[in-house]
Amino acid sequence: MTIGLTDDIATCHALRRVVFIEEQNVDETLEVDGRDADALHLLARLDGVPVGCARVLIAGDTAKIGRVCVLRAHRGTGIGQALMRATVDVLRARADVRRAKLGSQLHALGFYAGLGFAPVGAEYLDAGIMHRDMVLDLSA
């Protein structure tokens, strides 16, 4: 498995389409929000085949991790954890970023908690799916 920063946004879009639009029924106008050109993208490949991705938007000293997805056939294999660890490693290497945050779907709270993220605030509806924000102090 390889995971790294990528400029291949088209492949990330294809993965996100399968997971978010087709599988989770997220409206395409919400998924394709016009912010990809301003983001960092990470792509996970298994034997050269794209299987997951993540997007990071940086504002001030905070990185917003989003659009994290792994194809259904590869969930539960550790790819999601490796993708998130790689994303956090990229952020820790940046002197300008002190904190990472994300909006977790409720079913994934434990997954992100296991990676050191702590829940904050109340639950909320985003794209028809219940979420809760989570944060990670990158200076720790």
**What average pLDDT is seen over the chain?**
96
- Predicted confidence (pLDDT) per residue in 36-77, tens digit: 999 999 999 999 999 999 999 999 999 999 999 999 999 999
Q: Look at residue 30 and tell me if it is in a domain.
A: yes
Q: What is the pLDDT of residue 34?
A: 94
* Among candidate residues 11, 10, 66, the one with its CA nearest the CA of residue 39: 66
How many domains are contained in the chain?
1
Q: Look at residue 106 and tell me if it is in a domain.
A: no
Tell me the pLDDT band of 139, cut-offs 50, 70 and 90: confident
Which residues form the domain of 9? 2-98
Q: Look at residue 128 and tell me if it is in a domain.
A: no
Q: Look at residue 107 and tell me if it is in a domain.
A: no
Q: Look at residue 16 and tell me if it is in a domain.
A: yes
Q: Look at residue 9 and tell me if it is in a domain.
A: yes
- Predicted confidence (pLDDT) per residue in 13-40, tens digit: 999 999 999 999 999 999 999 999 999 9
Across 45-84, b (16+ Cβ under 10 Å) vs e yields bbeeebbbbbbbebeeebbbbbbbbbbeebeeeebbebbb
Residue 73: CATH number of its domain = 3.40.630.30
Q: Look at residue 132 and tell me if it is in a domain.
A: no
Q: Look at residue 134 and tell me if it is in a domain.
A: no
